[in-house]
Amino acid sequence: MSGAAPDHAVRILLMDNDHHHLFAEALHAKLEHDARFEVVGIAADAEEAVRLVAEVGPDIVLLDREQDAGTLSATRLISSQKPAPQVLILAGPDDEFRAVEAHDAGAAAFLRKPRSAADLLETLELATLLIQTAVPSEEPAGD
């Protein structure tokens, strides 16, 4: 997906743990070289992701359901913050987790885990467009 660069980089908080470290590393490496994105934090689990949201103020939080059973409760907590970032939940192909549950918890999107970091990057590009459309740029109010 190509297009004009956003006014500011979309700030992303990733959740990573030792089990899926290579996937997160590959995604982080791709994001580092794309001016449209800025990785502002990496959480080891859902609990740390909730804490980091308040500290780093991301636009998007990417939670991996396979990594942490607390994904739904973390999504509820993150979505209740002001301002609330967009939460994207990734789940494995065999996960019983359902999109309705994710939506009810406040997730902006529920995705089956892509095969590669490049596929996930395409999803983040789409999320970026949605954020830019839904969130007006911060401009001073005119008199």
Is it the case that residue 76 has pLDDT exceeding 60?
yes
Q: State pTM to two decimals.
A: 0.77
Q: Over range 98-117, report the average pLDDT.
A: 80
Q: Over range 16-23, report the average pLDDT.
A: 61
Measured CA to CA, the distance from residue 136 to residue 89 in angstroms comes to 24
Measured CA to CA, the distance from residue 64 to residue 113 in angstroms comes to 8
Residue whose tokens read 């470290």: 21
Q: Over range 96-118, report the average pLDDT.
A: 78
What pLDDT, on a 0 to 100 scale, did the predictor assign at position 106?
92
Measured CA to CA, the distance from residue 100 to residue 62 in angstroms comes to 17
* Nearest alpha carbon to residue 112 among 126, 99, 127, 128: 99
